[in-house]
Amino acid sequence: MLDAVVAEEVDALWCLGDLVGYGPRPNECCAEVERAASLCLVGNHDLGVLGRIPLAEFSDDAAAAARWSQSVLGAEARAFLERLPSQGLAEDVELFHASPRDPVWEYVLSDEVALAAFRLTSAPVVLVGHSHVALAFVLEDGAVDGAVVPGGAEIDVAEGRFILNPGSVGQPRDGDPRAAYLVLDLDARRALHRRVAYPIERTQEEIRERGLPEALADRLAHGL
């Protein structure tokens, strides 16, 4: 996926969090993001692995994967995750792992929650993650309109205010199993939603080899 991003010739790479907690390579993920990203946020699964959120607050499968991640997380990866914030600001874009109202836990999945997020922010573009679903909400004339965004879609962000969710690289949940990312062109005022195929079968094999819950491997093939 990072090869595809590099091919876009972007100026910076931003990560909205949840580097660890589900996948079979937590240390490698942390090292690669630390190397490539100029800005990275901490997500709820990262905080769970760090022990800063009780694992009782997660689903059984997520908690089991987090416990395994805790057992293999190296000192360098832990130190990287420990210093990450849950929200940030870059180039007049506000970024949150979850939402402005609750940067760790709240899902921005409805027009009502999006409206609350708009009221708590001022940037023309707000980026959120957490839901694993590529979404776009626009605020115009006090009204919010939102929808799931398919790969390949291009959004003109020149007029109005926007909340955009890039989707998920490793655990998409919108029915498209390909890795999702967003290219934000602030000069042209456009956002490009991208999807890239990756070797899902290899990741599934590694999940099973490490004894992680079978459901975490199965869902990758369906993007659920």
Regarding predicted confidence, which is higher, 2 or 120?
120
Residue 141: pLDDT band with limits 50, 70, 90: confident
Record the tokens describing residue 196, joined without a space: 């890239």
Record the tokens describing residue 130, joined without a space: 């957490």
Calculate the average pLDDT of the chain. 95
- Tens-place pLDDT, residues 25-65: 999 999 999 999 999 999 999 999 999 999 999 999 999 99
Residue 123 pLDDT greater than 80, yes or no: yes
pLDDT for the residue 180: 96
Q: Is 123 exposed, middle or buried (0-12, 13-18, 19+ CB in 10 A)?
A: middle
Which residue type does 190 have? R
pLDDT for the residue 2: 76
Domains and CATH numbers, the chain: 2-221 (3.60.21.10)
